[in-house]
């Protein structure tokens, strides 16, 4: 290594079982680290090539890492390295030995990122990899101190945390640092959905479509020609403009060749641009994430031509098919055109390579926006922007999808949006890690397939619903710290869920809700009328929290309970436990409808349903939704549910309805965010 000056970042490509396993390979790696020490390296990236390339391993170092214990001091690890990225992790003991060595030697380490290897791994394999990482996460033998509870500064990262909420009696929940969690969650989604296109599928299905304008893939050129008088051209200009605005943008532009009048109509019509209409493939394929069929660079070029040629007002611009990286120098120009032409509805999505493409600060200079959705960007920060209601004076909907943003900038966005009603955070992993809602106009907050340390409703007097869904995206939840849900000043909160007893720690006021707590009025949220809970009835301590949570919401009228699968049951609650549960006010006086989702026929589930029938004095309807399986299984579940028809009941003749899901439920992001839907969890 003959490079002059300091080296800030070093990348190694290695083969498992060879470079760091055996005397020659390990000694070589140690020598390289010694060279890096002299160069002051601060970031180390280890890329481990696929195992198939290690045809003849020369021996692997065991997990007790005896070799690494006797390695002489390495100066770069001790004094300089702040970040280590370990790619293509496969869970081998020799890999774990090296990671443990790094943790025990790197004294100023701030971030350790482990990226799982690509490949066709099933869910069990993901669980296994997560379990193999647990000894590192829970290890107390570290040279670097754990980070504290405060959020990181913009662009800063933290070491793995070991702290615990001071008011919680739960044992500490060490968790992965934000970047590590982000990489692992992205991989979990990637594996569970076969490819990186899975993340695109999640994002695209949650993005809004241009409304009320259609994006039909019909074409004017395909319409049957006809003779006769041109009566359409005689219509009033306002009506012609309305017609043109409802055409796909490609066909709308073609009308300009018909005549001089039509050219003026096109130029003055409010632009409705959805880049999906510039493709030659069905919209349905694109929405499924089939980007390999899309020439992203060509689409971006067409978008650039449309924006440059159309001089009229812009009503709606949805860009989801552009590789923004290839046109990054033009993005500020595009955004200036949108601002100058008063765009109201903007969806601005980068294809997810790279994930962290910087978003131009010009996005904060479009005061005409009423709806803004951003996907796959690094937020530019608001340090150099004057905050205030003049930034987004008309913005009512804000969506941040797979966005790298810190808590301070999110607070700034809320401060700059004085009429904001809907905030959606989708596929964000600890970005930001602390979400604090301070808005006097917000009515709906959605936290969808995302991770955070804390979601706090600090000041939200008009908030109607807080929607939480799939907070760890299918990856082993135990390796992440539980998310603290803090309910402060939210006097109109009516809809809440799904609260996952596995992942969520509930805090009301300044009190953490846990088993054995003595209830009082200051530990309740009386405004909640619709409550959704997700519980693993096979985990005893988790199921015992269910009545505790119910007591926190004394005026619930509709209760949704989703049964989650427990891979490692720790004891189930029978009917005797429920008989001994004390009074629960919402069941005694208010609950008139209960929906039990994903019924599997377990005895603990039946015991809970009998408990509901015996306690819910105002119950009018109980709905049991079965998991979607074959007809024989459905018949078996019906047989198990039959005793409920003759069970003891507190109310007079409640209706029992059994629903079998066909092709999945109607529960979706768009239903959850639709404020016109009274109960977003109900599809029965």
**Residue 639 three-state SS:** helix
Q: What do you get for the CA distance between the two ends of the chain, in Å? A: 67
Q: Is residue 304 part of a domain?
A: no
Which residue carries 């409705």 as its tokens?
272
The Cα 162–Cα 143 span in angstroms is 14
How many Å is the Cα radius of gyration of the chain? 28
Q: Is residue 470 part of a domain?
A: no
Q: Is residue 645 part of a domain?
A: yes
pLDDT band at 422 (very low <50, low <70, confident <90, very high): very high
The residue from 253, 269, 285 where one domain ends is: 269
pLDDT band at 251 (very low <50, low <70, confident <90, very high): low
Q: Is residue 180 part of a domain?
A: no
pLDDT of residue 166: 30
| DSSP run (H or E) holding 373 | strand 371-378
Length of the chain: 684
Q: Is residue 56 part of a domain?
A: no
What are 532's two structure tokens? 């959704």
Q: Is residue 530 part of a domain?
A: yes
Q: Whose CA is closest to 395, among 361, 441, 458?
A: 441
**Residue 316 three-state SS:** strand
Write down the pTM of the prediction. 0.72
pLDDT of residue 138: 55
Identify the sign of the CA torsion 605, 608, 609, 610.
Answer: positive
Domain count, the chain: 3
Domain shared by 123 and 245, yes or no: no
Q: Is residue 596 part of a domain?
A: yes
Give tens-digit pLDDT for 331-350.
999 999 999 989 999 999 98
pLDDT of residue 267: 66
pLDDT of residue 219: 44
Residue 46 has pLDDT above 70, yes or no: no
- Burial of 34 from C-beta contacts in 10 A (0-12 / 13-18 / 19+): middle
Which residue carries 């982000």 as its tokens?
182
Bridge partners of residue 457, in order along the sequence: 437, 487
Domain shared by 527 and 657, yes or no: yes
Domain shared by 518 and 631, yes or no: yes
The Cα 629–Cα 126 span in angstroms is 24
Task: HSE, CB side, 13 Å, CA atoms: give it for residue 24.
Answer: 5
Give tens-digit pLDDT for 654-684.
777 777 665 445 567 888 889 999 999 986 5
The Cα 422–Cα 673 span in angstroms is 8
**Residue 175 three-state SS:** strand
pLDDT of residue 564: 86
Give tens-digit pLDDT for 494-530.
999 899 988 899 999 889 998 888 888 888 999 999 9
Pairing of strands 511-512, 504-508: antiparallel
Give the whole-number percent of the chain exceeding pLDDT 90: 26
Domain shared by 666 and 530, yes or no: yes
pLDDT of residue 176: 44
pLDDT band at 44 (very low <50, low <70, confident <90, very high): low
Give tens-digit pLDDT for 303-332.
888 887 777 788 889 988 888 888 888 899
The Cα 296–Cα 576 span in angstroms is 61
Domain shared by 247 and 105, yes or no: no
The Cα 497–Cα 595 span in angstroms is 13
pLDDT of residue 374: 95
pLDDT of residue 264: 66
The residue from 119, 141, 163 where one domain ends is: 141
The residue from 141, 162, 182 where one domain ends is: 141
Q: Is residue 338 part of a domain?
A: no
- Print the domain residue range for 251: 235-269
pLDDT band at 367 (very low <50, low <70, confident <90, very high): very high
The more confident residue out of 236 and 96 is: 96
pLDDT of residue 287: 53
The more confident residue out of 607 and 283 is: 607
Taking all residues of the chain, what is their mean pLDDT, rounded to a whole number?
75
pLDDT of residue 485: 95
């Amino acid at each position: 290594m003959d490079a002059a000056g300091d080296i800030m970042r070093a990348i190694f490509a290695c083969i498992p079982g060879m470079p760091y396993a055996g005397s020659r390979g390990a000694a070589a790696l140690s020598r390289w680290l010694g060279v890096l020490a002299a160069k002051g390296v601060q970031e180390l990236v280890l890329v481990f090539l696929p195992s198939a390339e290690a045809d003849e391993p020369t021996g692997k170092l065991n997990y007790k890492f005896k070799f690494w214990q006797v390695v002489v001091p390495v100066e770069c690890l001790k004094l300089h390295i702040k970040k280590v990225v370990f790619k293509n992790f496969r869970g081998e003991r020799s890999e774990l030995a090296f990671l443990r060595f790094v943790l025990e030697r790197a004294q100023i380490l701030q971030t350790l990122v482990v990226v799982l290897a690509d490949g066709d791994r099933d869910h069990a394999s993901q669980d296994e990899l997560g379990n193999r990482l647990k000894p590192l996460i829970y290890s107390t033998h570290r040279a670097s101190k754990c980070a504290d509870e405060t959020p990181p500064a913009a662009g800063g990262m933290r070491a793995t945390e070991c702290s615990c909420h001071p008011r919680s009696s739960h044992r500490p929940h060490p968790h992965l640092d934000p970047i590590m969690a982000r990489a692992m969650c992205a991989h979990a989604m990637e594996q569970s959905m076969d490819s990186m296109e899975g993340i695109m599928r999640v994002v695209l299905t949650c993005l809004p479509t241009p409304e009320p304008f259609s994006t039909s893939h019909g074409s004017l050129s395909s319409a049957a020609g006809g003779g006769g008088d041109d009566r359409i051209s005689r219509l009033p200009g306002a009506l012609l403009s309305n017609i043109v605005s409802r055409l796909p943008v490609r066909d709308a532009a073609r009308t300009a060749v018909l005549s001089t009048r039509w050219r003026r109509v096109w130029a003055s019509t409010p632009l409705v641009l959805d880049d999906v209409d510039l493709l030659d493939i069905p919209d349905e394929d694109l929405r499924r994430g089939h980007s390999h069929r899309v020439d992203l660079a060509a689409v971006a070029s067409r978008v650039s031509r449309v924006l440059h040629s159309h001089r009229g007002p812009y009503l709606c611009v949805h860009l989801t098919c552009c590789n923004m990286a290839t046109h990054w120098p033009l993005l500020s120009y595009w955004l200036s055109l949108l601002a100058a032409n008063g765009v109201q509805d903007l969806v601005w999505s980068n294809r997810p390579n790279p994930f962290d493409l910087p978003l131009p600060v010009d996005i904060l200079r479009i005061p005409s926006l009423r709806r803004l959705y951003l996907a796959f960007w690094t937020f530019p920060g608001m340090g150099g922007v004057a905050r205030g209601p003049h930034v987004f004076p008309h913005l009512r909907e804000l969506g941040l999808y797979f966005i790298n943003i810190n808590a301070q900038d999110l607070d700034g966005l809320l401060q700059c949006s004085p009429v904001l009603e809907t905030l959606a955070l989708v596929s964000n992993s600890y970005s930001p890690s602390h979400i604090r809602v301070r808005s006097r106009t917000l009515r709906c907050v959605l936290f969808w397939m995302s991770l955070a340390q804390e979601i706090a409703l600090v000041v939200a007097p008009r908030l109607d619903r807080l929607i939480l869904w799939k907070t760890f995206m299918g990856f082993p939840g135990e390796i992440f710290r539980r998310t603290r849900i803090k309910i402060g000043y939210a006097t109109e909160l009516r809809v809440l869920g799904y609260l996952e007893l596995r992942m969520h720690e509930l805090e009301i006021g300044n009190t953490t809700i846990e088993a054995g707590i003595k209830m009082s009025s200051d530990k309740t949220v009386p405004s909640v009328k619709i409550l959704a809970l997700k519980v693993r009835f096979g985990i005893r301590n988790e199921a015992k929290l269910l009545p505790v949570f119910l007591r926190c919401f004394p005026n619930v009228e509709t209760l949704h309970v989703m049964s989650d699968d427990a891979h490692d049951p720790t004891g189930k609650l029978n009917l005797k436990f429920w008989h001994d549960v004390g009074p629960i006010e919402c069941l005694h006086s208010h609950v008139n409808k209960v929906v039990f989702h994903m019924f599997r026929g377990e005895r603990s589930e039946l015991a809970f349903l009998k408990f509901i029938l015996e306690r819910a004095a105002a119950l009018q309807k109980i709905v049991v939704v079965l998991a979607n399986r074959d007809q024989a299984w459905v018949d078996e579940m019906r047989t198990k549910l039959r005793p409920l028809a003759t069970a003891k009941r507190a109310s007079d003749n409640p209706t029992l309805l059994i629903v079998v899901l066909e092709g999945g439920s109607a529960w979706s992001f768009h239903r959850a965010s639709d404020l016109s839907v009274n109960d977003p969890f109900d599809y029965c």
